[in-house]
Structure 1
Amino acid sequence: MKKQVLVSVDRGETRVALLESTEGAGNAGQGGNRRRGGRGKKPDSGYRVAELYFERRSNRSIVGNVYKGRVDNVLPGLEAAFVDIGLEKNGFLHVDEIRLPGVKVARRGHGGDNHPKISDLIKPGDELVVQVTKDPLKTKGARLTMDLTIAGRYLVYAPKGEGVGVSKKVDDAERNRLRKEVKGLELNGGGAIVRTAARGAVREDFERELPYLFKLHEVLEQRAVDLPGPCMVFQEADLSVRVVRDIFSAEFERAIVDDPGQVQRLKSFFTRTAPELVDKVELWEESDPLFEAFDVEPVIDGLISRRVDLPSGGYLMIDYAEALTVIDVNSGSFTGKGKQARLEDTITRTNLESAEEVVNQLRLRDIGGIIVIDFIDMAKARNQREVLKVLRAKLAEDRTKTFTAEISKLGLVEMTRQNVTEGAREVITRACPTCDGDGVIKSEETLAIEFERELREHASRAPKRSKAFLVRMHPDVVTEFTGQGARVLHALEEATGRYFVFEGSDRLPLDEFEIVMEGSIEDVQERAIPFQEGEEVLVQIVEPHMYNVDDAVAKVGGYVVSVMGGGRFVGEKKLVRIERAGRTSANAVLVGPIEDPKADAPAGGERTSRRRRRGGRGRGRGGAGEAGGDVATDATEGEMVSAEDAASAEDVVADRDDAVVAADEVAPDAESEAVEEASPVEDEAADAPVADDDAPSADGAADAGGEGRDAKEGADGVSSAVRRRTRGGRRSAASRAKRASAPDADETAETISSE
């Protein structure tokens, strides 16, 4: 199988991708024949990403590093010691990994009860030279050993070892040949292991590499003597050199690197260990980024997903737990092939595809530890054996040590894979700060119930003069209190005898709330109600009205605005005028004409009223005649601005001229029409079920004055509507002045005061 290695070096991290040729691809194996194509030309296909490795400058792997450490604690019950090696967490050293001159320690389970106790071998305060065999993982420290090894291109030199061994991943014939090649090598009293990468190597290759390994060991020993512990005395090579050293061999076509300095480092390493491979290291000089040109970036993005799709339409679901990883196989949209397809054949085909893809994902994500694969149940033992055969064949391509059990009666395969590093997924991700990695959070209903309890408790301890409270929380939780006719809010007020007003803020987490103000009902209402009658507000219409399909609802920080005639504009931003405002909701009407979308609009859009002219100017000088035109669309939603801020000086003059013309053109019929237009608004405002502003009986007269004024103004026809808008503008200016000094006062909506 042909392979390629890609090395991408950035300021913050180094990434290495191992590509393997795909079986059955027509152009697989041709990629090595072409060097670098023209600028922007896509490299040959026929390869897939088999393994990915990441190394951050701030968080390098320490596997292979040698430290001079000091024993911090010895635990006879665990037959282990914790060694301070200068890192945040102490390393873990088991009694089986202790190597001392003149002391032979039998491995657990092989020496009976006569082997020495760890308390007899080492004690707190002893200085030891140890090597890291496993990175710190989550709450566990690094795994340590005193059996030091120094890795080279073809050999792993063990200064305290004995004899020469050959990797088990090498087939029997090649293993016998390699034993003959290394027989009689001078190892300075130590031992060695012939690596898998040594396939095809001859004796001269081993003899050329040994002096290099001896020199490294000599430097290591000298530093261990000279430096005080705890400290690092030897650092393993960086990621690119380490990966290429371990897996690059004659079957590799090339190693492509996008950094000149890294190319020089790799060539220098191969010059000392394998001169025949120097020419296979290439510098990527194309304009496209290396990983994008070889389609590696989409594979990296897919590491985060739980779902992995299969070619036939099935899919895998990968779930990570503390002690194991579970992979579930699902048939998905695959229902068999052909009219004669049978259930057993469909299941077997899905499981065979899954067996291959499971191993691919184990390698890509570097998943280690206990792994449970839940295949779809198969009735025939022959099919089970076939799936297991494919799984083990694919695992043979994995360089990491694995063990696989048989398929159980439940269709489960239990296996283990050596867990050496955190894995690519853990390197590029972090736990969600909201759910802390659990994947679920408390629902808004649950939080509302919890907050209700806390508010009842707070109200019971508050002074008697605190009749009302302004509470700020996330808008989604506010909706739980104010929705469905404010049923929850009324129940809270009945239970406490206090008055509550809620204010939404997206900046607050879901599970937090603040009591912003407490005092009299009048003071809290003045501070809390975001809008005043007569204000014009730019809102986002989010959903149809629950009881009237012609109307719609807009939500501003949890505050509900019922928009008359807004049903057709769901999903759009519209300018509305507040007709009635309460503590939890408001009623509003659209500003500008409401035209029938099915009717043919007159050419040129003739403007017949001052309101239509104002709506057209809100969209620009040339945007006249559009129904419901948005005003001041360039302003940020949530910002309150005056009419003078939203229009130019010429527009203000034009507004005044229009107002004079409109006053001159008012006829008795037009006046009665204006009264008829205003009255339904007030009736709808009073009867709308979403605008439930009932207060506790003790404070129920809070809004009586406003309702009385509305009734009086309704009898004055057109002049009352004008007065309402004028008074609303004055009240808006006063309320804005009061709210300017308070946090989040202006985050509710963009409003334009009436003139």
Structure 2
Amino acid sequence: MSQEIIINSTPQQIRVALLENDQVAELNIERRKHRGIVGNIYRGRVTKVLPGMQAAFVDIGLKKDAFLYVSDVYDNLEDEDTDFGDDEIEQEPAPKKRKHSKRPLIQDLLTRDQEVLVQIAKEPLGTKGARVTCHISLPGRYIVFMPTVEHIGVSRRIPSQGERNRLRKILKAVKPSNSGFIVRTAGEGREESDLVADIDFLVRLWGTIKQRNEGVTAPALVHEDLDLGLRTVRDLFTNKVEKLIIDSEEDYQKVLDFTEVTMPHLVDRIRLFVKDIPIFDHYGIEAELEKALQRKVWLKSGGYLVIDRAEALVAIDVNTGKFVGKKNLEDTIVKTNLEAAKEVARQVRLRDLGGIIIVDFIDMESQENKRKVVSTLEKELANDRARTNVLELTELGLVQMTRKRVRESLRQMLYQPCPYCKGMGHIKSEETICYEIQGAIQRIVSTTEKGNITVKAHPAVIAMLKNEEREIIQSIEEAYRRKIRLQEDKDLHQEVFNVSSN
């Protein structure tokens, strides 16, 4: 698989696309004014301890207090739910859990006004504050350093058992006591000196962080992670990437300098894009970005996906659409579902969808075909850096899956709720408002004996009252012998009206 990284950098934002076989696989966007905070380390102050939820709220200087679970406080890696680097899920499965007599309680670990060193594990999402952990992890080029736990691990994406054993042996020989290290995918095949250099750098960085922590009062930022451009170089720029192309001369030089220090063997793969056409247009990424924001995704066969986000989950519906097949119904359905499974995996990764995801495949009769569809979905998701968990097809043809959510999805980042419909996607029809106005007029004429009635409403509603629904006005005027005056107000929302008696 050929890979390329395309970086569009402006004074306002950085946009990064990962191309796999000339197709956009991942898109990341970071605004300069609103940089991502995952990976940042803060000295925070506990504002509230919640025994009923076994969690605490921590003031770290953001608009909303951060949320800290008890499992992110006590020193027990086996119970910890961790991700390293930029959504990285490269640690090995933890060793078998030791039997614990009793888990510590949050009220025994933290007290109000206590100051704690925490790291952002998940961005603030919607109405929720950030999620933080006391288990600090510092990603380097080849190593992830965990200074608060005792652990050795190797990326599960390194398949060779011999290489895994070699890397573990190196770590055991050089690892400082009372600390944890995980070899990242980029560490595969690296010399011991490369790994040791990374470890030394991360240990020095941790020393600097501890010094800064001692010199500040909560709430305070102690350590800020790299910006999106340099994070991309650190986390994505591997031997598998053929080229990294960037259109900003200033950031090009920064990337060069960073790469010369951390991975000099890849410097000659970095290119400065100098053409007049925008870089995302040149590589077809802008059009792909626009498609990634649409609700409907067409498949090459003529079928399509419909992707909807609800409050608690993402629903993806598979439809045959224009595809009618050639042999029989089951064959048509299976072909559509297999194509859809590949596209679902691509769209989930491209749009950075997270949380609970429900995929409604078209019903199939054969158990073998069902297994084939799920297997295809799992195989395609294997390239995803975010942690995913796929369950078997249900009797209703649904696949339930979860995907680690660390930050807002692409759509959440680029869109805002519609101010007119308040994010609902629908408003009441003109007809509905006409009938609501009818009820409001009847309430007024039943409680007042004299005077004309004035109705102020949106022009579209007034137009319907004068035409299709004019019987409403005529019947009330005749029954109560009261004149009703209709008045347009273009500044009114279509659902808002005013009925008054003069």
Q: Give me the TM-score of the superposition, normalised by structure 2.
A: 0.92
Q: Which residue of 1 aligns with 2:345?
A: 359
Q: How does 1:88-107 map to 2 (within 5 A)?
A: 88-99=63-74, 107=79
Q: Which residue of 2 aligns with 1:76?
A: 51
Q: Which residue of 1 aligns with 2:279?
A: 290
CA contact (8 A) 1:328 1:373 kept: yes
Q: 1:190 to 1:508 in 2, by over 3 A?
A: same
Q: Using the alignment, how far apart are the partners of 1:97 and 1:471 within structure 2?
A: 59
CA contact (8 A) 1:18 1:50 kept: yes
Shift of 1:60: 2.0
CA contact (8 A) 1:356 1:394 kept: yes
Shift of 1:156: 0.7
Q: Which residue of 2 aligns with 1:57?
A: 32
Q: Which residue of 2 aligns with 1:490?
A: 474
Q: How does 1:22-41 map to 2 (within 5 A)?
A: none
Q: 1:120 to 1:452 in 2, by over 3 A?
A: same
Q: How does 1:278-357 map to 2 (within 5 A)?
A: 278-337=267-326, 341-357=327-343
Q: 1:455 to 1:168 in 2, by over 3 A?
A: same
Secondary structure of 2:199's match? helix
Q: Using the alignment, how far apart are the partners of 1:272 and 1:70 within structure 2?
A: 37
1:379 aligned onto 2:365? yes
Q: Which moved more, 1:154-163 or 1:63-72?
A: 154-163
Q: Using the alignment, how far apart are the partners of 1:181 and 1:2 within structure 2?
A: 31
Q: Which residue of 1 aligns with 2:196?
A: 207
Q: Give me the TM-score of the superposition, normalised by structure 1.
A: 0.62
| Alpha-carbon displacement from aligned partner over 1:677-715 (angstroms, at most 9, x marks no partner) | xxxxxxxxxxxxxxxxxxxxxxxxxxxxxxxxxxxxxxx
Q: How does 1:705-744 map to 2 (within 5 A)?
A: none
- Work out which of the residue numbers 483, 490, 494 in structure 2 matches 1:510: 494
Q: Which moved more, 1:112-121 or 1:306-315?
A: 112-121
1:397 aligned onto 2:372? no
Shift of 1:182: 3.4
Kindly provide the amino acid, as one letter, of the partner of residue 384 in structure 1.
K
| Alpha-carbon displacement from aligned partner over 1:122-164 (angstroms, at most 9, x marks no partner) | 1101000000111111121111111111111111111112242
Q: Which residue of 1 aligns with 2:9?
A: 9
Q: Using the alignment, how far apart are the partners of 2:143 and 2:446 within structure 1?
A: 76
- Work out which of the residue numbers 230, 239, 246 in structure 2 matches 1:241: 230
Kindly provide the amino acid, as one letter, of the partner of residue 421 in structure 1.
R
Q: Which residue of 2 aligns with 1:370?
A: 356
Q: Which residue of 2 aligns with 1:413?
A: 399
Q: Which residue of 1 aligns with 2:155?
A: 167
Q: Which residue of 1 aligns with 2:85?
A: none
| Alpha-carbon displacement from aligned partner over 1:38-92 (angstroms, at most 9, x marks no partner) | xxxxxxxxx0000001112232221101000000111111111111111111111
Secondary structure of 1:407's match? coil
Q: Which moved more, 1:156-165 or 1:286-295?
A: 156-165
Q: Which residue of 2 aligns with 1:145?
A: 133
- Find runs of 4+ consecutive structure 1 residues off by over 6 angstroms: none
Q: 1:492 to 1:92 in 2, by over 3 A?
A: same
Q: Using the alignment, how far apart are the partners of 2:219 and 2:243 within structure 1?
A: 41
CA contact (8 A) 2:458 2:488 kept: yes
Shift of 1:470: 4.2
CA contact (8 A) 1:482 1:488 kept: no
Q: Using the alignment, how far apart are the partners of 1:234 and 1:459 within structure 2?
A: 68
Identity of aligned residues (%): 41
CA contact (8 A) 1:79 1:118 kept: yes
| Alpha-carbon displacement from aligned partner over 1:602-647 (angstroms, at most 9, x marks no partner) | xxxxxxxxxxxxxxxxxxxxxxxxxxxxxxxxxxxxxxxxxxxxxx
Secondary structure of 1:254's match? strand
| Alpha-carbon displacement from aligned partner over 1:467-504 (angstroms, at most 9, x marks no partner) | 33443321221133211472111123245432122133
Kindly provide the amino acid, as one letter, of the partner of residue 51 in structure 1.
E
Q: Which residue of 1 aligns with 2:87?
A: none
Q: Which residue of 2 aligns with 1:20?
A: 20
Q: Which has the larger radius of gyration?
A: 1
Q: Using the alignment, how far apart are the partners of 2:372 and 2:160 within structure 1?
A: 25
Q: 1:484 to 1:382 in 2, by over 3 A?
A: closer
1:86 aligned onto 2:61? yes
Which consecutive residues of structure 1, in runs of 5 or more, have no partner in the other structure?
A: 22-46, 520-755
Secondary structure of 2:441's match? helix
Kindly provide the amino acid, as one letter, of the partner of residue 412 in structure 1.
L
Q: Which residue of 2 aligns with 1:611?
A: none
Q: Using the alignment, how far apart are the partners of 1:244 and 1:412 within structure 2?
A: 38
Shift of 1:447: 1.1
Q: Which moved more, 1:356-365 or 1:487-496?
A: 487-496
CA contact (8 A) 1:315 1:331 kept: yes
Kindly provide the amino acid, as one letter, of the partner of residue 13 in structure 1.
Q
Shift of 1:261: 1.6
Q: Using the alignment, how far apart are the partners of 1:200 and 1:448 within structure 2?
A: 73
Kindly provide the amino acid, as one letter, of the partner of residue 161 in structure 1.
V
Q: 1:511 to 1:183 in 2, by over 3 A?
A: same
Q: 1:485 to 1:310 in 2, by over 3 A?
A: closer
Q: How does 1:589-600 map to 2 (within 5 A)?
A: none
Q: Using the alignment, how far apart are the partners of 1:484 and 1:322 within structure 2?
A: 38
Q: Using the alignment, how far apart are the partners of 1:106 and 1:187 within structure 2?
A: 20
Kindly provide the amino acid, as one letter, of the partner of residue 48 in structure 1.
Q
Q: 1:147 to 1:461 in 2, by over 3 A?
A: same
Q: 1:395 to 1:482 in 2, by over 3 A?
A: same
Q: 1:313 to 1:518 in 2, by over 3 A?
A: same
Secondary structure of 2:467's match? helix
- Work out which of the residue numbers 114, 118, 139 in structure 2 matches 1:130: 118
| Alpha-carbon displacement from aligned partner over 1:331-365 (angstroms, at most 9, x marks no partner) | 1111113xxx1111111110110010000000011
CA contact (8 A) 1:105 1:115 kept: no
Q: Using the alignment, how far apart are the partners of 2:10 and 2:479 within structure 1?
A: 62
Kindly provide the amino acid, as one letter, of the partner of residue 94 in structure 1.
Y
Q: 1:106 to 1:251 in 2, by over 3 A?
A: closer
Shift of 1:259: 0.9
| Alpha-carbon displacement from aligned partner over 1:400-429 (angstroms, at most 9, x marks no partner) | 111111112221111111111111111000
Q: Using the alignment, how far apart are the partners of 1:225 and 1:232 within structure 2?
A: 12
CA contact (8 A) 1:5 1:244 kept: no
Kindly provide the amino acid, as one letter, of the partner of residue 220 in structure 1.
I
Q: Which residue of 1 aligns with 2:145?
A: 157
CA contact (8 A) 1:209 1:272 kept: no
Secondary structure of 2:213's match? helix
CA contact (8 A) 2:445 2:480 kept: yes
Q: 1:159 to 1:484 in 2, by over 3 A?
A: closer
Shift of 1:200: 2.6
Kindly provide the amino acid, as one letter, of the partner of residue 93 in structure 1.
L
Kindly provide the amino acid, as one letter, of the partner of residue 360 in structure 1.
R
Kindly provide the amino acid, as one letter, of the partner of residue 167 in structure 1.
S
| Alpha-carbon displacement from aligned partner over 1:270-327 (angstroms, at most 9, x marks no partner) | 2221111222221111010000000111111112211110010000111111111111
Secondary structure of 1:6's match? strand
Q: Using the alignment, how far apart are the partners of 1:143 and 1:485 within structure 2?
A: 53
Q: Using the alignment, how far apart are the partners of 2:136 and 2:250 within structure 1?
A: 30
Q: How does 1:439-478 map to 2 (within 5 A)?
A: 439-458=425-444, 464=450, 467-478=451-462
Secondary structure of 2:173's match? coil
Q: 1:395 to 1:484 in 2, by over 3 A?
A: closer
Secondary structure of 2:148's match? coil
Shift of 1:328: 0.9
Q: Using the alignment, how far apart are the partners of 1:171 and 1:475 within structure 2?
A: 67
